[in-house]
A and B are shown apart, each in its own frame.
Chain A
Amino acid sequence: MSHKDDLALMAHLMRRAGFGANRAELERCVAQGYEATVEELLNPPVENEGGKMALLLRYHPSFLLPGGVPFSGQANWMYNMVSSDRPLEEKMTLFWHHVFATGNSKVDNCDQLLEQIDMLREQGMGNYRDILIELSKNPAMIFWLDNNENHRDAVNENWGRELLELFSMGVSNYTEVDVRECSRAFTGWTIQAKLPRAPYGRYPWKFTYNEADHDFGEKTFLGRTGNFNGEDIIDIILEEPATSRFICRHLYNFFVADEPQVPAWTIEPARDEDALEEMMDVFEQSGFEMKAVLRHMFLSQWFKDARYQKIKSPAEVVAGTLRMVGLFENPDPGVLNIGKEPTYMGQSILDPPSVEGWHTGLEWINSGALLARINFVADRVSNPELPGMRDIIDNMQAEGVATADHLLDACTDYMGFVELSEETRGQLAEHVRAGGDVDWSNRTATATRVGETMALISATTEFQFG
């Protein structure tokens, strides 16, 4: 492989396993090798910081506990995505948020949602059983799916149903009776009594197991009978092949290539059945270790071959663009808005439309969302004063980019080795050639030209993929 091929493959890995990387980072990763980079993503050195929280909070202390102000909570998380030096950890957090969709529309408490995100950040690359148990005890989730209203004498099925339908097995792998029995097993898994908000405001919610409210009666769940508690239910769920299939298909859809929407999974075959079965084998044999299945996936040829086979989610568009242009190395006042940007493209983080999360792939795209995506990227790449853009323009000058065609190629490469169709490239080339050769003696005009070219690339159909 040529050096450029190595860089392009690395750009693909960093886009999927993170939120993209600039040229200097790509060069460093290529130098250490693909496998070593996958290992570094899975086990980032301790000195690598996650989101630069200390820096953010020095500028915006209110972002720590945004309470009832969802924009601050969203900005907090987006800033983590943009600034983290542990990109896969952050990407897995987003993955689990897609699966365990919990929303502020009901929780109305961004402190608790961010606490859930922290939990996913800490646990997200660990063992799936541990993740499910932590999730069952997570106060935001308990409140979101009403398990605090699930009582020994009055069963509330919301958590019990969604645990099976959306968080582990998928629909049609259990009966209504199983939902009921599962819910009974989680009675008493609740949060400590909530104090009135007035006059001191919000206070942290805490998980508690209320034995007196737990149904200790016999339960029959998925054909097994016993005096099951919540952990037993999770162990039984893990014995079902439907579970590893459901989670691996989610991973494939999120990291490799777009699958049909989740409700169609019982009907539509997997996009790559062999790949899915490989993942399931590794997942089960490892005892449901997320790192094992992630490692297998990133090292597989079918992953390496799946470039530009996924429509980027709005969070990926926003975080990827901001990393590319070097915003926000310092969290200036504009940082508040970065939490809102994905919302304008149809993905309100920390506030999915329902517990089913977002429809992905082509369903990210409609005319309104497409406008918002293109405008967001175009506005930023066409600003040559942004640090990332300044570096890109400096590099182009140092590389001696001289002709219009050379300029176009450099722009597509710096945007992530975007794979343009021949037709699109031809149309763009015609436009860029009309401006003649590159004139570095007028750096301001050339910088503007780079920005305009990159804005036009951001407007292509190809750039909507990642």
Chain B
Amino acid sequence: MTSTKKDPVIVVLQLTGGNDYFNTVIPYNDSLYYDNRPTIRYEREDIIPVNDELGFMPTMGPIKEMFDEGKVAVIHGIGYADSPRSHFRSMDIWHTCEPDKVGTEGWAGRVARELDPNKENVLTAINFGHGLPRALAVPGVPVAAIADLSTYGLLTGIADADQRSKALDLFSKMYSPTVGGSFVNDYLRSTGTDAMVGADIVKVAPERYSSNVEYPNSPIAMHLRDIAQVYMADLGTKIFYTQHGSFDTHAGEAAAHPVLWKEVSEAVSAFFQDMQEHNTGENIVMYLFSEFGRRVRDNGSGTDHGAAGAAFVIGDPVKGGFYGEYPSRKAEDLEQGDLVPNYDFRGAYSTIVEDWMGMDANPIVNGAFPKLDLIK
């Protein structure tokens, strides 16, 4: 399939558990890095230098290659004030854009609602994985969750085609909307309807796909390959969401962190090669984030929950480079031992929503936040 029409799509890759920013984008000429990380650090000779000040951790080679091609924007110091340092709460804040109260709607779900207000396409947003991240949860907005593309379908066990078709007819009647139903009942009905319609449409994706790109064998690579298949099938999906983890490296970080980033880097690289092979790279922007960074000082075998982190925006439409400033590592500038966020995460969402998707960001992120000039 060759597409030349610009048709913006986002792929969100959530690094679940709190990625160690200080150990990912490393100020490798700063003695404070080595002082604060007596145990959990990468050695100078293993770090991949990006400029005189900063380098990527050792297993990010494939991402460094894309960075050199000008396709990777790194956002420094992203987060929000007064990090609760709780995974649960922090992920909720990132998902709902509500740092001060518990939000009920996810930002990506709101984007889906704006893109398709009449719910004409139940596949506007898809999560690849089990369950649904809150970022995509907005009551009444259809979102499919595809754990495994190859086995997706409803009442697939009814062998007799005529019986199955009657059963599906009845199902669609039972799940049709009612007037004056409860919120719970409405949600169940619309979910069921979406599931049936979505399953019907999406089953064509694997048949329509062919590629010479070999994806590595990791869960994140399998999800990104499923994403590539659905994208190439041209089903109108605009938001693809998936996650990888766990980056919650309180202990054993020296062993786990390089593997996690190796899996992410290789999978992301394969995905963009696939897009390049199909000439679709100019339609895709990928956004990588984590719910918080980790404490500056290591605890002897890992790092505890922190505050500021890094986000990555990747793709052909991206102006590569570093954005913002790396937060100060000086002891007197830390808050509870953590890097202090200096860039509001809602600004990054605003950048993607307005400058890439061409929509008004204000109602999506609940306010106006400074954007970054990182989309071409």
B299 lies within 8 A of A154 (CB): yes
Chain B residue contacts of A356, Cβ below 8 A: 87-88
With contacts A354-B17, A452-B167 taken as known, whether A464 is within 8 angstroms of B142 at the C-beta atoms is no
Among residues of B, the one whose C-beta sits closest to the C-beta of A262 is: B88
A171 lies within 8 A of B89 (CB): yes
With contacts A368-B145, A431-B170 taken as known, whether A461 is within 8 angstroms of B304 at the C-beta atoms is no
Number of interface residues of A (CB under 8 A): 61
Chain A residue contacts of B305, Cβ below 8 A: 157
B154 lies within 8 A of A374 (CB): yes
Among residues of A, the one whose C-beta sits closest to the C-beta of B170 is: A431
Most A CB atoms within 10 A — which of B87, B174, B184? B174
| Contact of A365 (CB < 8 Å), options: B86, B188, B336 | B188
A382 lies within 8 A of B158 (CB): yes
| A402 contacts the other chain (CB 8 A) | no
| Contact of A464 (CB < 8 Å), options: B132, B188, B250 | B188
Q: Identify the stretch in B54-62, B112-120, B190-198, B348-356 within 8 Å (CB) of chain A at 4 or more residues.
A: B190-198
Cα–Cα, bound, A266→B317 (Å)? 43
Cα–Cα, bound, A375→B155 (Å)? 5
A-B CB pair tally, cutoff 8 Å: 164
| A127 contacts the other chain (CB 8 A) | no
Cα–Cα, bound, A167→B186 (Å)? 34
A263 lies within 8 A of B170 (CB): no
B144 lies within 8 A of A367 (CB): yes
A417 CB to closest chain B CB (Å) equals 19
Chain B residue contacts of A369, Cβ below 8 A: 130-132, 145
B167 lies within 8 A of A456 (CB): yes
Q: Residue-by-residue, is B234-265 near A (CB-CB < 8 Å gives 1, otherwise 0)? A: 00000000000110101100000000000000
B169 CB to closest chain A CB (Å) equals 9
Chain B residue contacts of A264, Cβ below 8 A: 102
| Contact of A267 (CB < 8 Å), options: B102, B158, B184 | B102
Chain B residue contacts of A161, Cβ below 8 A: 85-86
| Contact of A455 (CB < 8 Å), options: B167, B191, B300 | B167
A371 CB to closest chain B CB (Å) equals 5
| A207 contacts the other chain (CB 8 A) | no
A151 lies within 8 A of B188 (CB): no
Among residues of A, the one whose C-beta sits closest to the C-beta of B195 is: A367
Chain A residue contacts of B342, Cβ below 8 A: none
Most A CB atoms within 10 A — which of B132, B187, B301, B336? B132
With contacts A149-B302, A461-B188 taken as known, whether A375 is within 8 angstroms of B154 at the C-beta atoms is yes
| B157 contacts the other chain (CB 8 A) | yes
A112 CB to closest chain B CB (Å) equals 15
Query: Which residues of chain A (408-466) have a CB below 8 Å from chain B?
Result: 423-424, 427-428, 431, 452, 455-456, 459-461, 464
Query: Which residues of chain A (145-164) have a CB below 8 Å from chain B?
Result: 145-146, 148-149, 151, 154-158, 161
Among residues of A, the one whose C-beta sits closest to the C-beta of B297 is: A154
Cα–Cα, bound, A263→B95 (Å)? 13
A113 CB to closest chain B CB (Å) equals 15
Among residues of B, the one whose C-beta sits closest to the C-beta of A106 is: B246
B164 CB to closest chain A CB (Å) equals 10
| B369 contacts the other chain (CB 8 A) | no
With contacts A171-B84, A355-B87, A382-B158 taken as known, whether A105 is within 8 angstroms of B195 at the C-beta atoms is no
B137 CB to closest chain A CB (Å) equals 7
Chain B residue contacts of A165, Cβ below 8 A: 86
| B92 contacts the other chain (CB 8 A) | yes
A378 lies within 8 A of B251 (CB): no
B157 lies within 8 A of A379 (CB): yes
Q: Residue-by-residue, is B58-97 near A (CB-CB < 8 Å gives 1, otherwise 0)? A: 0000000000000000000000000011111100100000
| A366 contacts the other chain (CB 8 A) | yes
Chain A residue contacts of B302, Cβ below 8 A: 146, 149, 156
Chain A residue contacts of B86, Cβ below 8 A: 161, 165, 171
| B376 contacts the other chain (CB 8 A) | no
Which residues of A come within 8 Å of B, CB atoms?
Answer: 105-106, 143, 145-146, 148-149, 151, 154-158, 161, 165-166, 171, 176, 261-264, 267-268, 343-346, 348, 353-356, 359, 362-363, 365-372, 374-375, 378-379, 382, 423-424, 427-428, 431, 452, 455-456, 459-461, 464
Which residues of B come within 8 Å of A, CB atoms?
Answer: 16-17, 84-89, 92, 101-102, 122, 127, 130-132, 134, 137, 142-147, 152-158, 163, 166-167, 170-171, 173-175, 178, 184-185, 187-189, 191-192, 194-195, 198-199, 245-246, 248, 250-251, 299-302, 304-305, 336
Name 13 A/B residue pairs within 8 A (Cβ), A-sorted. Answer: A143-B251, A149-B300, A149-B302, A158-B304, A161-B86, A267-B102, A344-B130, A346-B145, A356-B88, A367-B198, A368-B152, A370-B192, A452-B163
